[in-house]
């Protein structure tokens, strides 16, 4: 199977399995999504969803969050890990949104990436899921699966993003990001599949006998 053939099969199979993939992080608007994605760094979505209701009670918009004490934010988000850095980032980005963006999350990749605690992946998620702008947010899980499926050689997350954008139609990117995540969790996890177990791995590489060694981002 050629790479383009693998990509076409994967896209069709994932659309069949997850025709309307939901956003896994609970949120009500672009701001709460931004904060939730920031919190999800090195933390599960489930844990973030357990923590954010208390955080939204404290403040669920930039104006209110900008007035909080960093210690109060940190006390709530501590279960998510990296709470000292994340609490400072949430407070500072909220203040910047008030000072520079009229209290609104900018629908601009570069402006998002300038916010504290917001990297390219976080900005991509916000652009795609909050503003419906085509973006392909590649995390370590998507990076791993793309290698297993022969869609990239896996040298870096940045290269994986570039490779996937070349392989898949632009209109599919936003949903495909989520579809790959859901497939990875359900069928092709780090422990559940080594490149030889799940349906997509076996279909793409029916003759593969040995585990696929993937490169870390």
User: How many CB atoms lie under 10 A from the CB of residue 12?
Assistant: 10
- pLDDT of 190 reads 86
Please report, for residues 70, 72, 150, the alpha-carbon distance to residue 45 in angstroms, rounded to integers and kept in the order given.
22, 22, 27
191-206 in b/e form (b: 16+ CB < 10 A) is eebbbeebebbeebbe
- pLDDT of 215 reads 87
Q: What is the secondary structure of the chain as a DSSP string?
A: --HHHHHHHHHHHHHHH-SSPPPSS--SSHHHHHHHHHHTTTS-HHHHHHHHHHHHHH-SSHHHHTTS-HHHHHHHHGGGS-HHHHHHHHHHHHHHHHHHSTTS--S-HHHHHTSTT--HHHHHHHHHHHH--------HHHHHHHHHTTS---S-HHHHHHHHHHHS-GGGHHHHHHHHHHHHHHTS-TTT-SSSSSHHHHHH-TT--SPPP----
Q: Which residues of the chain have pLDDT under 50?
A: none
Q: Catalytic residue positions?
A: 121, 139
**Pick from 135, 140, 114, 116: nearest CA to 124:** 135
Query: Selecting from 1.10.10.60, 1.10.1670.10, 3.40.50.1220, 3.40.1080.10, what CATH number does the domain 3-21+136-204 have?
Result: 1.10.1670.10
* pTM of structure: 0.92
- pLDDT of 8 reads 98
- pLDDT of 114 reads 97
Instruction: Report domain extents, the chain.
Output: 3-21+136-204, 30-131
30-131 carries CATH number 1.10.340.30 = yes
- pLDDT of 26 reads 97
- pLDDT of 130 reads 97
Would the CATH topology of 3-21+136-204 be identical to that of 30-131? no
- pLDDT of 1 reads 87
- pLDDT of 216 reads 83
């Amino acid at each position: 199977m050629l790479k383009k053939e693998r990509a076409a099969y994967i896209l069709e199979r994932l659309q069949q399995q997850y025709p309307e993939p939901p956003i896994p992080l609970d949120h009500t608007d672009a701001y709460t999504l931004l904060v939730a994605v920031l919190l999800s760094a090195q933390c599960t979505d489930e844990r973030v969803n357990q923590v954010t209701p208390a955080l939204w009670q404290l403040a669920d918009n930039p104006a209110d969050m900008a007035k909080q004490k960093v210690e109060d934010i940190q006390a709530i988000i501590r279960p998510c890990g990296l709470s000292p850095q994340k609490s400072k980032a949430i407070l500072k980005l909220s203040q910047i949104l008030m000072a520079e963006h009229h209290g609104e999350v900018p629908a601009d990749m570069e402006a998002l990436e300038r916010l504290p605690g917001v990297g390219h992946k976080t900005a991509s998620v916000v652009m795609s899921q909050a503003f419906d702008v085509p973006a392909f947010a590649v995390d370590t899980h998507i990076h791993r699966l793309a290698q297993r499926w022969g869609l990239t050689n896996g040298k870096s997350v940045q290269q994986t993003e570039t490779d996937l954008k070349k392989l898949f139609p632009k209109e599919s990117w936003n949903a495909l990001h989520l579809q790959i995540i859901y497939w990875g969790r359900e069928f092709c996890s780090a422990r559940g599949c080594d490149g030889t177990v799940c349906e997509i791995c076996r279909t793409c590489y029916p003759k593969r006998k040995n585990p696929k060694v993937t490169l870390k981002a």
